[in-house]
Amino acid sequence: MSADADLTVLRAGEIAIEGRMPYSSNGTFLVRLDHDGANELAIYKPVRGERPLWDFPSGLARREAAAYELSAALDWAVVPPTVLRDGPHGEGSVQRFVDADFSEHYFTLREDETHDAAFRRLCAFDLVANSADRKGGHCLIDADGHIWAIDNGLSFHQEFKVRTVIWDYAGERLPDEMAADLQALVDRGLPDTLAELLDPFERDAVLTRAGALLRGGAFPHD
């Protein structure tokens, strides 16, 4: 399905819970959405299922949706379509399920150089989004060979908190096309669909981080 079709189903589909996802620290459910003949699996993370964190404000579901909006604004397609909506357990994020080979992760996929362009985009994305929990298992490859980044709730903090496994590109020059995408974001500002999910300090911090990456001109070291 196209991203627009995905978003329509995610926003308007009737949600039926299939079961709870194992090994999740917060309430995370596999759900099925039905809308106008379309049927799709998704991951639903209700706000009420979030465990409080001492170093991160509440609202992880909002940040899951914001990560998709940033990915879309940059036209990088690194985050599966995700929306913030009401569900069986209240408001939460609903993200298209990635039917992936779950034996694969960043450290196995990184061995194939054909994925370098995708991982460079994800590396830059995580710096701009301030991803504070990028584990190897959060990088999935679908049947079409596309790399997706999931579990983006710990992101967009106004303070710099990047924690990631992706440091392989440190010191490399930022590719021209990625720099152009980031410059366009800085020049036009955040789209309303992203800005409305963040508070004013978080909005400013996104553009500040993008500008810093552009001025540096290269992927930073840890």
The whole-number mean pLDDT for each consecutive block of 10 residues of the chain, a chain of 222 residues, reads: 85 96 91 93 96 91 98 98 97 97 96 97 98 97 97 97 97 98 98 98 98 98 90
Instruction: Identify whether the C-beta of residue 31 lies closer than 8 Å to the C-beta of residue 18.
Output: yes
One-letter amino acid at 174 equals: L
Alpha helices in the chain (DSSP H): 3-12, 60-74, 106-109, 116-129, 176-188, 192-195, 200-216
Phi and psi (nearest 5°) for 35?
Answer: -155, 120
pLDDT tens, position by position, 124-171: 999 999 999 999 999 999 999 999 999 999 999 999 999 999 999 999
Distances in whole angstroms, Cα of residue 131 to Cα of each of 3, 126, 152: 23, 5, 7
Residues 6+ apart with CB under 8 A from 92: 44, 45, 46, 47, 48, 49, 61, 84, 85
Cβ-count burial 58-68 (b if 16+ within 10 Å, e if not): ebbbbbbbbbb
**How far, in Å, CA of 100 to CA of 197, rounded?**
28
Query: Rounded to two decimals, what is the model's pTM?
Result: 0.96
